[in-house]
Amino acid sequence: MKKRILSLFVAIAGVFSLHADEGMWPLVMLQKIQDPMQAAGLKLTAEDIYSINKASVKDGVVRLMSKGGRMFCTGEVISSQGLFLTNHHCGYGAIAALSTNDDNILSNGFWAKSKAEERPANFNIGFLRKIEDVTQKVLDGIAINQDEAGRATAVTAKIKEIQKALVDALGEDKANYSVEVTSFYNGNQYLAMYYEVYRDIRLVGTPPENVGKFGGETDNWRWPRHTCDFSMFRIYAGTNNKPSDYAAANSVYKAEKYFPVSLKGYEDGDFSMIMGYPGRTTRYTYSEGIKYLSSKERPMRVQLRRDIMDVYESYMKVDKVVRLQYSDKLAGLGNYWNKFKGEAADLSKPGLYEKRKAAELDFEKWVRTNDKGSIYGDVTGLYDEAYRMLNEYGLYPVYLQDGVNNSQVMAFALQMYGLDGQLNDKEKAAAAKEGLLKKAEGINGMFANFYDPIEKKVLAAVIRRMSEDLDHKYLPALLNELVAKYNRDYDKVADALWKKSMYSNKEKLAKFLKNPSAKALLKDPIFNIVNAYMNTLTKDLKPKYDEINSKLDRANRLFLSAALQMDSQKAWAPDANATMRLTYGHIMNYEPRDGVHNKTFTTAKGYTEKYIPGDFEFDAPVALLELIRKKDYGQYADKDGELHTCFLSNNDITGGNSGSPVINANGELIGIAFDGNYEAISSDFMFMPETQRTISVDIRFVLFIIDKFGGAKNIVDEMTLVK
C-alpha cells in the first residue's frame, strides 16, 4: 500500500512540480531557493535581495501604478537621484499625453538637459517596503470545506478589516502607503504587501517612437529583436524624502538603493536574475479549461481585436495626426492580440490537455487512496460543471471587455450605466447631476483622441461580432431589431446609431451633461443597447456567473491545498498575481525548430538590415543609422566591437514584468526585460524550458541611445557605470 501511495504522489508531482530555476518566486521564499540560486552563479544572499532591516535589491525596483492604483509595469532605479528606467511601451501613455502636434515628443524623442526641463507624468510608482504573512488572521475560524459563498464573504470581510488595521498602524505615514492583502495558492495563503507610493513622477528621456517601438507589431513576441524599448523618469519627493503630490518645490528622491550599470556585457551561460511585477499566470488550469480557452475564448478575443486593429491601421497609415491619436490604443490592443493568437494555437496542440487530464486522474486516485474524499472528493466534478457552463455563457463578458470597452461611443455610454435610475431618484439626482457637470468640464479630454470615421467603423465591427457570435436571446432587443432592419449590413446599423446618439457628437454630449434627464438618456439608442447588455450581464446572467465562479474558486483552492499537503517541504512557486517576484536563470540561446538556431544576442547591424524608409514599423532616424554605419559606439561597444542591442535569457516572466531589471550575478544592471518569445507565448499556462526565453534590451544600447544619439550625456553621468 505504501508503495502504491508513493507512486501516485510521484505521478502528480511529476506533472505539477517546478524546477528551482523555473517559476516566479515571492520574496518571502528566497531563503528556500538561496542555495540553488547561488549554485547557478548568484553572488548575493537572500538578505541582500530582500531585507526589511537594510536597503536591499527590492528597494531599487519600482511598481508603476496609475493614479487610481492599478499596477501596469515595472521599473528600476539607476541613480541616487531617483532616476529610473522602464520600457518605452510602459511610458508610452505618459509620453503620448505630453505630446502635441507642435511638440510631438512621441515621434521626435525627448531628453531633459536639466532637471528644470523634466515634465510631469500622470502616474505613480510604489516601493515594496515590507511583506507580512497574515494567513492565520485571514483564515481564523474559516473551515477549509465551508460553503464557498459564505467563505468568500468571510474572507473578504477579514481582508478589509486587516488592511484597515495595518494601514492605521502606520500612523502619520498611512497617507503615503498602500497596503494590499493578496491571495496566494488560490486562497491557501495571504500576504500583506506594504507599498510606499510616490506621486510626483517626471519624464526625463525617451527615444523617438521609431527607436522605442522599432519593429512594431511585426516583431512583437519575435526574435531576433532590435527594439530599444526604454523610457526614463525621475521620482520627486517632498519634505524628508517622503511622497508628495506634484509641486515645483519638490526635490529629487534620494534613493535608498539603486542599480550600478554594467558595461561588461555577458556570455552564454552567465547568471541572470529578474525582479518585477508579473501580472497573472494560471499554470494549474484544469484540462477542460485548456480546451475552452483554445477552442472558444481565445479565438473570439483574437478575432474581435483584429477587426478593431484593422480599422485603426487603415486610417493611421495615411494620416499622421490620426496615428498619434491612436498609437497607444493600437499598441495596447495589438500586444495581447498577438499573445491570445499564439495561446489559441499552442493550447490546441496535442499534449497539454492530455497531460493535465492524466494528472487529474492521478489526483482522484490519491484522494481515494488517502481517504480524502470528504474534503477533496468533488474537485474534478466542480471543474467539469463550471467549464460546461462557461462554454454556454462565458463569451458575453469577453465581448464587454474586448468589444464594448474598445468602442469609444459604447464606452462613453457604459460610463452612464444605471444613470437613468439615479436621475429618476430624488435623493440621488442632485449628486448624479453634479458628477455629470464635472464630466462636462472634461469633455475635450473625452474627445481628444476620437476620430469619427474610425469610431463609426469600430462600432460596426463590434456590433457585427456580437450579433454573429452570441445567442440573440441574450442580446439587446434594439440591437437585434436594427440588424434585421438593415439586413445584416452593419455599417448601416452603425450609421443609424451614429446619427441618433449623443455619444458620437461632442456638442450633443456636452449639452446633455450640463442639463441631463432620464428621458433624454433613454432616447439614446447606443445607451439603450449598452444598458440592456449590462443588465443581461449583471442581472439575467449574474446567477450563472456567480455559480461558475464559486465552483472554480472552490476547485482551484482545494486542488492547490492538496498539492501543498503532498509535499510540504517542496518550494512551490505560486501563480503570478501582480506582486513582486524573482526569477533566475541564465543567458541562453535556443532552437525553436529543427535546423534553426537563435543566438543569444543581436547587434545594431539589424537596424540597417530591417530599415524601410517611411515605413510604419521599420523606419529609423537617419542620425542613428549614420552612427551605426560609422560604428561610432564609444564605450558602449562589446569587446567584439559591435553594439549589442537585445539579448535572450531563460528567465520566467509574463505581462507586468515589462520594464523589469535584468541583473547579473553581482547585482548589476545588464538590461531591461520587455518581451517573451512567440514559441513560448503560452507560458502563462505552462513553463517550457527548452524554448521559453525573455527578450531584453541591452543596457549598453540604452546608454548609447541616451548619450551618442540623444546627446544627453548629463543623464548618463549621474549613473554608476561598472567597467
Known catalytic residues are 89, 229, 658
Which residue is it, cell 446567477? Answer: 543
3 state DSSP class of 701: helix
DSSP 397-457: HHHHHHTGGGSHHHHHHHTTTTHHHHHT-HHHHHHHHHHHHHHHHTHHHHTTT--HHHHHH
The set of cell numbers assigned to 596 is 534553426
Question: CA angle, corner 442, sides to 119 and 517, nearest 5?
Answer: 165
The set of cell numbers assigned to 68 is 487610481
Tell me if 87 sits within 8 A of 675, measured CB to CB.
no
Residues with Cβ within 8 Å of 664's Cβ and at least 6 positions away in sequence, in order, are: 262, 264, 266, 270, 271, 272, 273, 670
Task: Tell me the C-alpha distance between 370 and 388, whole Å.
Answer: 29
Exposure on the CB side of residue 423, measured as CA atoms within 13 A = 19
- The sign of the dihedral angle between the CA atoms of 687, 692, 697, 699 is positive
- Over its C-alpha atoms, the chain yields an Rg (Å, rounded) of 26
Task: Tell me the C-alpha distance between 666 and 549, whole Å.
Answer: 45
3 state DSSP class of 194: strand
Tell me the CA distances in angstroms from 60 to 74, 76, 232, 394, 668, one per residue in order.
11, 6, 14, 41, 11
Helix, strand, coil shares of the chain, percent, nearest 5, are 50, 15, 35
Task: Tell me the C-alpha distance between 211 and 619, whole Å.
Answer: 9
Q: Which amino acid is at 509?
A: L
**DSSP character at residue 663:** E
Task: Tell me the C-alpha distance between 670 and 587, whole Å.
Answer: 11
The set of cell numbers assigned to 161 is 478589516
Task: Tell me the C-alpha distance between 284 and 286, whole Å.
Answer: 6
Task: Tell me the C-alpha distance between 90 and 674, whole Å.
Answer: 9
416 Cα distance to chain centroid: 27
Task: Tell me the C-alpha distance between 666 and 644, whole Å.
Answer: 21
The set of cell numbers assigned to 374 is 470528504
Strand locations in 569-678 (E): 581-586, 601-603, 644-649, 661-663, 669-676
Q: Which amino acid is at 676?
A: G
Question: CA angle, corner 612, sides to 335 and 108, nearest 5?
Answer: 70
